[in-house]
Structure 1
Amino acid sequence: MANIKSAKKRILVNEKKAARNRAIKSKVKTMVKKVDAAVAAGDKDLAKANLVSAVSEISKASSKGVYHKNTAARKISRITKAVNNIA
């Protein structure tokens, strides 16, 4: 355990940030899973609706620094491609 006051504060702040990042990443993964499930079921309308919310969450995560901008772009590209390839 840290003895210095600033180090103790750093530990607390890092735990808060890690918890926030974990929650945001979890939400993004859930949204992507919803899109993937709709694609697997072949439900284009549901997939498109879920895609909009998933893209929004990924963009928010990117703007907050949880994901790098290229990672966010890659995730958005992949799920959009999957939705567009539904018969």
Structure 2
Amino acid sequence: MGHPLKRPDALLGDKGYDSNPNRTELRQRGILPVISRKGQPGIQGLGKLRYFVEQTFACCTSSRASPSGENVASTSMVPSSP
């Protein structure tokens, strides 16, 4: 059961996702596509938002870098000095 799914009102995307099939699919799902067209100026301020989101993901996943919890440098193949 769980909570009902929540859809965003709009989706911000960069020019890499500018295609009519992407826009059509979003509209069919009731989501407003906010995607810059290729060859046109970009959306003002989108870079700052994207940086914030990418840094948040990096922060959240950084604790999963090493499954054993050890420092990656301590498990390197470089022989220790005698």
TM-score (norm 1): 0.29
Which has more radius of gyration? 2
Which of the pair has the greater relative contact order for Cα pairs under 8 Å at 6+ separation? 1
| Bigger proportion of residues as helix | 1
Structure with greater strand share of residues: 2
